A and B are shown apart, each in its own frame.
Chain A
Amino acid sequence: MPSLDDLKKRIKSVKSTQKITKAMKMVAAAKLRKAQESAEKGRPYSQKMQNIILNLTKSINDPLNAPKLLVGTGEDKKYLCVVLTADRGLCGGFNSNICKLAKTNFKKILGDGKELNIITVGSKGHDQIKREYGKYVTKKFSFKDKKNISFREADEVGKEIISLFNQNKFDKCIIFYNNFKNVITQIPQAQQIIPAETKNLKEGNDENFSYEFEPDEDEILEDLLPKNISTQVFKALLENAASEQGSRMTAMDNATRNAGDLVDKLTIDYNRSRQASITKELIEIISGAESL
């Protein structure tokens, strides 16, 4: 049985932890609103961009001469995985979920005897991945000191991907991130960005446009494809930012509630042992008086 003093100290420390988690929850809630807004506002851009690319892919008649960024190198040997995570912890399963998904994919890629390269964005993911797959990590990005993610950061990552592609370092590129569905649900996702995935043709797949290109198809693709890569990375970053805050908010909410439960339990223990010691003293006094 811990002494009264010990219990008192524990109650105090749990209470102050509760205060911290509560504050973190509020901060996350405030940030979440902003992040969610920008994720939702950013969606049309990346979606429309993807649509244009898909329409373009359909209109290509000669896949052999099409830009490699669009149709791929035609090989399937080398993979580049870009894992996007947060820079901060204390956000529940957010980082681990992405890493878990990424690791299952790594295992599969390596199991098939293919080459693997990894780029990590965000320090938390880097820490988790380097333990097992450290030797595959070619580059890591961290935007810890940036308050808001802007297109420039995404462009940085996008340019790196493209320059690696031009050096023939990989055939396929997959990005991993958390898709923000709502505050409590974030779905870790793997999206293939090179070559552009043409599976999920949802909108307008019946219509086949023959576009008029100006100046010409090649030049437009040359301009558009790198932009699309950065846009997809940017979308992933925004979704991630919103997911991170959502995930942190839920985690901190749970932590606050747990701390409350713990305080209740400890208070009962404290009162019980206080009562016990009073009773014990009373018995001592009474039996002392009786013996006289």
Chain B
Amino acid sequence: MSDKFTVEIISPDQTILKQDTNEVIIPSFEGQMGILYNHIPLITFLRPGIITIKTEGEKKYYVEEGTVEFSNNSLLILTSTARDLADLDKNKIIELLQKAEANLNTQTSDKEKYVASYKFETLKEISQ
């Protein structure tokens, strides 16, 4: 587990994180995905969920959407919604949760429903 790769989380207005890491777990659109050193080049996008970055400790980020690219042992996560879980306070989560719940049944297409339900589930999980 000594082989490290770089992970970058970039939002339109700033670089949120840039560091070396051993393993990253991302909520890719079709399910959780673990990424290790020397993963093959990959492009995917995210559904609402939690990004876990495992180095010595663990860092967790809540995201709603985003694009992920992995090439040459650098992982790039482009998202406008990443939030450090440690910074997210309880009231905000509950507020988001209520909004997500209200949104659950207003979606029409299958894809939107899918995204909305994951958003709700994730928020529910972290609010506990």
A residues at B contact (CB < 8 Å):
38, 41-42, 44-46, 48-49, 52, 55-56, 150-151, 207, 209-215, 220, 223-224, 227, 231, 234
CB of B125 within 8 A of chain A? no
CB of B105 within 8 A of chain A? no
- 16 pairs from A and B in contact (CB 8 Å cutoff): A41-B14, A45-B11, A48-B8, A48-B69, A48-B76, A52-B43, A52-B76, A207-B72, A211-B41, A211-B71, A212-B41, A214-B28, A215-B44, A220-B44, A223-B45, A224-B45
Report the minimal beta-carbon distance from A36 to chain B, rounded to whole angstroms.
13
How far, in angstroms, from A151 to B12 measured CA to CA in the complex? Answer: 7
Q: Interface centre among B13, B30, B72, by most A CB within 10 Å?
A: B13
How far, in angstroms, from A231 to B13 measured CA to CA in the complex? Answer: 11
Per-position binary interface string of chain B over residues 1-39, scored 1 when its CB falls under 8 Å from any chain A CB and 0 otherwise: 000000010111111000000000000111001000000
A214 partner residues in chain B, CB cutoff 8 A: 28-30, 33, 42-44
Tell which of B10, B13, B28 touches A151, judged by Cβ atoms closer than 8 Å: B13
B78 partner residues in chain A, CB cutoff 8 A: 45, 48-49, 52
A215 partner residues in chain B, CB cutoff 8 A: 29-30, 44
B28 partner residues in chain A, CB cutoff 8 A: 214
Name B's interface SS.
strand
Report the minimal beta-carbon distance from A121 to chain B, rounded to whole angstroms.
17
CB of B122 within 8 A of chain A? no
CB of B67 within 8 A of chain A? yes
Tell which of A42, A207, A220 touches B45, judged by Cβ atoms closer than 8 Å: A220
* Cβ-defined contact, A220 with B30, below 8 A: no
Tell which of A56, A151, A207, A234 touches B43, judged by Cβ atoms closer than 8 Å: A56
Known: A45-B78, A224-B67. A212 touches B42 (CB 8 A): yes
